[in-house]
Amino acid sequence: MARKRLRISEPFGARLARLRRDRNITQNELARHVGLAQPNISDYERGRFVPRGPLIIRLARVLEVSTDQLLGVEPVKRNGSPPLDRSAARRLRKINLLSRRDRQALLRTIDAYLTKTNLAADAGNARGSGR
């Protein structure tokens, strides 16, 4: 039985850096989330080293992709929405750390502001069923 050869068009380090930037995560933030120091992330992105199994799994979870997508075996599916700027992305990550009750209170405040500025319809669609 012949083995199918994988064609990976983008080096691992470049893909890791792109995925990290697409999610507006700094090297420091990524390192903190996976239990490393920032220079380690830099080394991976520059192709000096390639992470092993358990770290690949942690990186994939933080970057919200499958391990196959992180490794370049499968393409990364894009969700079609425009990327957030860094400050908005950081705030959203912090909001996700709030208790459910506090998060709901904050979302009600945001909805009230958006209603006032006529942007409520877009906000409701973007949030989905998060209530």
Q: Residue 39 — pLDDT band, cuts 50, 70, 90?
A: very high
| Structural contact between residues 8 and 72, judged by C-beta atoms closer than 8 angstroms | yes
Is a pLDDT exceeding 50 seen at residue 129? Answer: no
pLDDT digits 0-9 by tens, 81-102: 666 677 887 788 888 888 999 9
Contacts 24+ apart (CB under 8 A), 51-54: none
| Structural contact between residues 68 and 92, judged by C-beta atoms closer than 8 angstroms | no
Name every residue whose Cβ is closer than 8 Å to that of residue 43 and which is 6 or more positions away in sequence. Answer: 49
The whole-number average pLDDT for the span 50-72 is 93
Domain ranges of the chain: 12-71, 86-127
pLDDT digits 0-9 by tens, 101-125: 999 999 999 888 888 887 655 555 5
Q: Residue 131 — pLDDT band, cuts 50, 70, 90?
A: very low
Q: Residue 127 — pLDDT band, cuts 50, 70, 90?
A: low
What CATH number is given for 12-71 in this structure?
A: 1.10.260.40
Q: Residue 2 — pLDDT band, cuts 50, 70, 90?
A: low
